[in-house]
Amino acid sequence: MDAQDRHNRYVMLQRVKLLWLKGVLEESLHGAELLDLNMAIRPNAVAGAHAPGWQQGDEFDTPLPLGTKIRQVYDQAGGMLLIMGSPGAGKTTTLLQLVTSLVERADLDERHPVPVVLSLATWQGDKSLAAWMVDELANQYEVPRKLGQEWIGNGRLLPLLDGLDEVEQELRLGCAQAINQFRSQYFDEPLVVTSRSQDYKALDVRLALSRAIVLQPLSLEQIDVYLASVGKRLAGLRAALQTDVTLRELAQSPLMLSIMTLAYYRMPADIAISLGGGDLSRKLLFDVYVERMTRYRGGDKEYAPEDAVRWLAWLAQQMAARNKTMFFLEGLQPNWLPRGRQRQYAGRIKLVVGGLVWLIGLLSGLMGLLVSGWLALAVAVGLGVGLALLPVLSGRFLLRRRVGWFQIETTETLDWSWPHAWFSSGAGAFVGALIGLPLSLLGHRSWSDGLPWALLLAGFLGLSQVLENALVRNDVKLRTSPGQGIERSLRNGWLVGGVSAAVTAVTLLLIAFLSTLWLKYDLVQALGWIVGAALYLGLAGGMLYGGLAVLQHRRLLAILQADGVMPPDYVHFLDYAAERNLLRKVGGGYMFVHALLLEYFTMYG
C-alpha cells in the first residue's frame, strides 16, 4: 500500500467515524446503545440452512445469552451476517455498534477492510450491486468512481447494507438476488445486511449469508430499569406504563421508548397521553413528540412550530421522492422545483452567463475602438455574441467540458496533471496556429504587418486546453460542516478564474511583445484582444470549476425561499431542528432521527 492509498484509506475511515459514529451513534435518539438488546438466531433465514423450510416462526429462534455483543455474533458468522427486527427495534443502532468495533480493527490493521454503511433505499434494480455501490460511494461519501471500483474489486471495503426492507417492494426480490450474485462473485469478502423481519420473510429468496439474528423486544424489566436509572423526572411515564397496556407494548421498541422519554421530558406533569389502537397510537405519539420538540424552550419564538413542521415535511417529501436518507445542502438540485419552474430557473442562469460573456466582448470592442476604429468594435461585439451563445446553445464554454444547466456540480477538490497539461497545450497551440496563419495572411496579406494571429491564437487555444484538461477532480471529499462544498466551490472558482485570467494576460502580452521585435505593428492594437481573451478564459475557468455551481445554488435557494418551502437562514433552521432531536446533524449533512420519523413527515398534510 503506497502513500496515496494510505491517505485515501485514512480519509475514508475519518469520514465513516464522522458520519456514523459521532454524527449518528453518539447522538442517537434510540437510546438502544444504553441497553443490552436481546438477540436470537433464526436458523432458516439464510440460504443453505439445514432446517426445514417451514421453520420460519419466532418459536424456532435460538436465544443468545443476554449481554452477547454484536461483534461476537459477527465473528462467529465469519463476517456474513443478516440483522433483522421489527420497526424501531434498533437494527441500525446495532449495525453502528458493529461499525464501532470494525473501525477500531481497521485503525489497528491497515489490511482490515474499511467498514462503510450504504442505505439500500436508493436501489433501483438497473445495475449490479457492485456498480450500485460505486455510485453510492460517489454520492454519499464523495469517493471518485474509479477509486470506488478499485476498493470493491480488491476487498478494501466492508459493505454494511442497511434497510433491505426500504427498497421499493417490486424491486426488493431483485435486490436480494443482486446481493447473492455479489456474494458469489466476492465470496470471501464479509458482508452485513439489515432488514425488517416481516419484509424479509415475505421474500421468495434467502440471502447467501452465514447467520441471521433477530433483535428481540425489550422486556418490561429492562424498560423499568432503564427508566428508573434516569431518575424521578420519568416517574410519570413509569406509572403510565404500569396502567396502559398499549403504551407498554409500544415501549418494547427501543425507538418508541426513546421517543416517549423525550416527549415526557417536555410535558407538564399534569398532562397524560391517551393512546388508542396500534397504528393510531404511534401516529399520536409522533404528534406529541414533534409538538413538544418544536415548542419545548419556553421563550424561544425563533420559528413558529407550524412553520418548522411545514418546512420539515417538505424536506421529508423531497428526500423520500428521491430515496435519500441523508440531506446535504449541496444536494439541492433544480429538479426539486416543479417542472415548469425548472426551465425558468435554467433560463435565468443562461441569461446571466451569456450576459457576462457579451460584456467581455463589449469591453474588448470599446478598447479596440479607441485604437483601431469601429471595425474592431463591431468584430469584438459580434464575437462576444457568438461566444455568449456557445454555452447557452451547446452547453460548452470550451471544447470538451459541458455545462449542466439542470445539474449543480460542485468543485470541492482539484489536482493538477502535468502530462495532460503538456499534451493539451501542444495540441491546442498547434490547432491555434493552423487557424491563425490563414487569418493573418487573409487580413494583412503578409507577416510584415497586422496582428500576429497565428501566435496569439496558438497561445490562447493552448492555454484554454490546459485549463480544460490539466485540472482533475480525483480526491475523496470530506465535508465537516453544512454548505462546505459550496464554500469550496466558490473558493476554487475565484482561484481558477483569477489564475487563468492572469496567466492568459501575461502569456499573450509576452507573445505580442516578442512579436514586435520582428513584425511591424503597434503593441497597443493587441491590448483589446488580449484583455478580452484573458477575461473570457478567466470567466470560463471560474464558472467551470465552481463558480457556476455557486451561481446556480444561490438562485435555487432564492426560488425555494420565495416559494415558502424553506426559511432564508436554512442552515440555521436545520441546526435548530437538530437541536430539538427532529433531525440529526451528521458531518456536513442532516438526516431524520429515524426512518419512521421521515415517514411521519412524508405523510404530513
Tens-digit pLDDT profile for residues 356-367:
999 999 998 888
Summarize pLDDT for 179-235 with one digit per residue, the tens. Answer: 999 999 998 899 999 999 989 988 989 999 999 999 998 888 888 888 887 777 777
Residue 339 φ/ψ, nearest 5 degrees = -55, -45
What are the cell numbers at 357? 460573456
Which is higher by pLDDT, 22 or 293? 293
DSSP string, 340-400: HHHHHHHHHHHHHHHHHHHHHHHHHHHHHHHHH-HHHHHHHHHHHHHHHHIIIIISBSSSS
Smallest CA-to-CA distance from 176 within 160, 186, 189, 165 is with 165
Q: How far apart are CA 135 and CA 124, in angstroms?
A: 12
Is the pLDDT confidence value at 239 over 60? yes
pLDDT recorded at residue 26: 58
Ranking 40-49, 393-402, 419-428 by mean pLDDT, the lowest is 393-402
Q: How confident is the model at residue 475 (pLDDT cuts 50, 70, 90)?
A: low
Mean pLDDT of 342-351: 93
Is the pLDDT confidence value at 487 over 70? yes
Parallel/antiparallel/unpaired status of strands 327-328 and 415-416: unpaired
Q: How confident is the model at residue 553 (pLDDT cuts 50, 70, 90)?
A: very high
What percent of the chain is modeled with pLDDT above 70?
88
Mean pLDDT of 237-257: 79
Mean pLDDT of 45-55: 63
Q: 397 with 544: CB under 8 angstroms?
A: yes
Q: What angle do CA 566, 571, 573 make, to 5 degrees?
A: 60
Which among 49-53, 66-70, 231-235 has the top mean pLDDT? 66-70
Is the pLDDT confidence value at 386 over 80? yes
CATH T-level assignment (fold) for domain 3-215: Rossmann fold (3.40.50)
Q: What angle do CA 75, 81, 86 make, to 5 degrees?
A: 125
pLDDT recorded at residue 50: 52
pLDDT recorded at residue 175: 96
Mean pLDDT of 395-410: 84
pLDDT recorded at residue 133: 96
Q: How far apart are CA 240 and CA 248, in angstroms?
A: 8
Question: What end-to-end distance do the CA atoms of the chain give, in Å?
Answer: 54
Parallel/antiparallel/unpaired status of strands 191-196 and 114-119: unpaired
pTM: 0.72
The radius of gyration of the chain from alpha carbons, rounded to an integer in Å, stands at 30
What are the cell numbers at 480? 465537516
Q: How confident is the model at residue 270 (pLDDT cuts 50, 70, 90)?
A: low
Q: How far apart are CA 201 and CA 196, in angstroms?
A: 9
Q: Which SS3 state, helix, strand or coil, does residue 143 take? A: coil
